[in-house]
Structure 1
């Protein structure tokens, strides 16, 4: 899809097609419109309309402001007003496009209160486990849109409310996820400081988690995500590093070394060391220096 020199501004899908309904929304299936255009909607924009495109099956190449992305799994695409966009679909596509007029968008955002306004910016939201739930909402909205039953307007608004709440919550989750790494790095840094100060005392993970200000589960999740190890493994690796240093750079006996590292039983220290390295402390000490994995820089 290549944008033309002048991006057309459509009221809906064509320059001659005015807003086709007295409602503040319009709904149709993806095949109903794209089949007429050989499965491709060329780049264009809407002056005052927001679109929700839900892909349930098939593939969709989505172009937003010159950037293309191919969707191959259920997803909901938000296209805000004035965003240049185009689509290309596979012929087996299944899904819906709901177009919202500006007054309805404003009302929806007002109802969300202090939550982010999710319809003001482009966003691609993978449906995941909610694919069937979203499909039921869109298909129910489409069926209701085509009828003239009592309470139709209320039903349409109710379904749109559910969809916008779903998008808003995903938006909040994404924002929270973007904030976690920075906060997480600071918490991991604090944990590593505590380990460095106390590893010879073999601190309990529960005690360190309390000092960091997180639960044990959260601390382990954090350590695995950012360090690739559990909290206990980090403590053990620090002990192991110190044991290797002492074995290489000092003449302490195995008993003295075990005592200096907080092991009351030298035999337990030897089992600990062998479990993590495959060697006894004595065998490790007898290896050539360049085989130990440590250099004088340590």
Structure 2
């Protein structure tokens, strides 16, 4: 695969559901992909590394595309369910016909009072960092039936449309969460687990400006010691490790997908100088940022 980078803007662009939507103002979209039913503009620039600010669920009936989510390649297989969460970096290698059903929805949709319970479900939280679910024949029949009911409701624009869409989406997400916990390790949804997820969410929001545990403990209104204890117990990693790992992921994304200099990346991630960033990166990856960029692009070429 040729390495494709965002050379023009020097940043990884983020596309909203509004930009991909036919209506331009939706929090939820249901579409069918296939040669007989037109196309859904999921990626305004699908061959350029980009992020989506919405959740994407895809039931693939036919197709053999290849794409990347962050640093993992996936070859799309028929009768498989694929899902992504906001802010992952997407890159498609090529465009090819695909037949299937697609559901997209935003964080704004999940924040509505009647939908907040969905936010805590495994398929949404995605603690395993997964991207695909294997389906048996019964799963395929059930999911296609639910998604076609959603599609019919979305296209009809009838009375109580949003309520019907929400109800069917709840059924779909709960069913998928059941499959998720069967195929990946099931998490125990305790208060401490919720604290772990809150901590990870905060890191996602503040990784470029807050690098120390105390800052996050203050946002969670607990002591740094208690936060460290809970995070270690829930994840097997220290709190500072979670912070550092997110910084490394974001650094790797920029090294692979942009032409930003190491100094520019260090600045974007809140490091005082490039030398400190180089030492930090080498300590956690056993290689320098420049060497990593060369190695990863050679691997992807």
Normalised by the size of structure 1, how large is the TM-score?
0.49
Instruction: Work out which structure has the larger RCO, using CA pairs closer than 8 Å and 6 or more positions apart in sequence.
Output: 2
Higher radius of gyration, 1 or 2 = 1
